[in-house]
Chain A
Amino acid sequence: MQTSPRLILLWRVLVFFAALSPLGYWSAQVALGHAGPEPGQYLLLKFGLCALVLLLLTLALTPLTRLTGWRGFTAIRRQLGLWCFAYALLHLTSYVLFILGLDVSLLWDDIQRRPYIIVGALALLGLLVMAVTSNRVSMRRLGKRWKRVHSLVYGVLLLVLLHFFWVVRADMAEWAGYALAGAALLLLRLDALSRRLPALGRRLRLR
């Protein structure tokens, strides 16, 4: 499928605003007093879940490209990955600012003692490494190693799912949905499946 560079640019701008809009919406909810009695907790949960959704979407781009052959999916990969990092950072910021009230000693206490905080922190660290090496200069400098560095994303996904798993209380349904999506995306990375995607795309007339 051929798409003109101008259309690709438009698509990237659209994706930019689509990724920005939840932040705007949730901020407005808080500003209008519609976020309930604990707005900090509200933002914390929304940002965290949004980061996970963006991580899954980012991971879906490569299989989608193979399935459809459309360049547009590859064109937004870095952007979505950075958005994922941005929301994960907002998630941490909400925690430190709104929940802990900037009491850094509490954070340190948490990091030492609470496994789900440690796991979340590790995942964020992984995202940070990928974010700072996502520019062209780093790509050039890292050469072949760049791909290896960015395969951190699979580990990050597992850590994020574990982080989420440990905060689930009464019902696994929501978590199970995300875990299933994550597992499917990881499976699609297996050579045996990944190889078949272009042919499947042709059969489904996606490419």
Chain B
Amino acid sequence: DARWDAVVPADPSKDKTTPFEDATHYNNFFEFGTDKDDPAARAGQLTTAPWSVTVDGLVNAPGAIALEDLIGPSQLEERIYRLRCVEAWSMVIPWLGIPLADVIKRADPKSEARYVRFETLVRPEEMPGQRSRFGLIDWPYVEGLRLDEAMHPLAFLAVGNYGRVLPNQNGAPLRLVVPWKYGFKSIKSIVRISLVKDAPMNSWQQIAPNEYGFYANVNPDVDHPRWSQSTERRLPNSLFSPNRIDTRLFNGYDEVANLYAGMDLRKHF
């Protein structure tokens, strides 16, 4: 009873859906290792049911909510979004889920809430990346959005992709999808959603503040210090055609531009 194709690319010939095999075997999910094929190889052991999400902070209705109850009241829909990784590759993925705004509204934020903070599961016995002694990420992985960003109709909580339940390596059982921001903002395997007053320090900003900011909006004019962001490699590609396309501001989702009116996007990268 999902609303299929609720959001689809304006030009499907330019944004062809990435094959399932590629979207599920080329992942950054450092809880399971640093190689692109580590998550597919190692995430199978993650227990995703039962799953509950703690909604807390500046809300009138805090509590630990079972995943079914978090999602249940909303209408499931399918959205085909472009996903632009900060590493300059991109895919097009059909997600299944609900608007993030639904969950936030049900939590009933207090008036002083300004930001939303998200946290990934910490379970080293099932997440080998969290057992590494040389890891740079201070677990749990943390991400954040400004409240108005989180309430934007495009911000999405996914429980599935390609018309089925989310594979573990893609962030099962619940992940964020913010299509106008670099992929690392779309935090996986969420266990906590907190409404807070101040901007949360997200994990990548903590590791390398000169390379990763809080906003992380896709922007061809603001380079990563180590590579250009003006183009991206649309995957899958082949050896002799890198499939390079121009990167668009906000990943082509112009409808979010008003969220950043008057802001210096070079400063707030």
Q: A37-B26, A114-B226 are in contact. Are A101 and B244 (CB under 8 A)?
A: yes
A40:B239 contact, CB within 8 angstroms: yes
Taking a contact as CB atoms under 8 Å apart, the answer to whether A38 and B30 are in contact is no
Q: Is the CB of A174 within 8 A of B34?
A: yes
Interface size on A, residues (CB 8 A): 29
* Interface SS of B by simple majority: loop
Mark contacts of A15-46 with chain B using CB atoms, 8 A cut-off: 1 yes-contact digit, 0 otherwise: 00000000000000010000011111101000
Given contacts A38-B235, A40-B242, A100-B242, 17 further A-B pairs with CB under 8 A are A36-B22, A37-B22, A38-B26, A38-B233, A97-B240, A99-B242, A101-B241, A106-B228, A166-B226, A167-B226, A170-B30, A170-B207, A171-B134, A171-B136, A172-B134, A172-B136, A173-B133
A144 located at the interface, meaning its Cβ lies under 8 Å from any Cβ of chain B in the complex: no
Chain B residues, CB < 8 A from A98: 239-240, 242
Partner of B237, one of A37, A100, A110, A175: A37
Interchain Cβ contacts within 8 Å, total number: 80
Q: Please tell me which one of the listed residues A36, A169, A171 contacts residue B26 in the complex, with CB atoms under 8 A apart.
A: A36
In the complex, whether B209 has a CB less than 8 A from a CB of chain A is no
19 A-B residue pairs with Cβ-Cβ distance under 8 Å, sorted by A, are A36-B36, A37-B22, A37-B235, A38-B89, A38-B235, A38-B237, A40-B239, A97-B240, A98-B242, A99-B233, A114-B226, A169-B30, A170-B136, A171-B30, A171-B33, A172-B135, A173-B133, A173-B135, A175-B134
Whose C-beta in chain B lies nearest to the C-beta of A116? B226
Residues in chain B within 8 A of chain A (CB atoms): 18-19, 22, 25-26, 30, 33-34, 36-37, 89, 91, 129, 132-137, 207, 226-228, 233, 235-242, 244
List chain B residues, Cβ under 8 A from A171: 30, 33-34, 129, 132, 134-137
A106, closest chain B residue (CB): B228
- SS of A interface (majority): helix
Rounded to whole Å, the gap between the CB of A161 and the closest CB of chain B is 15
Let me know if B134 and A173 touch, CB within 8 A.
Answer: yes
**Which residues of the partner chain B approach A106 to less than 8 Å between Cβ atoms?**
228
Nearest Cβ on chain B to A162's Cβ, whole angstroms: 13
Q: How distant is the Cα of A156 from the Cα of B167 in the complex, in angstroms?
A: 43
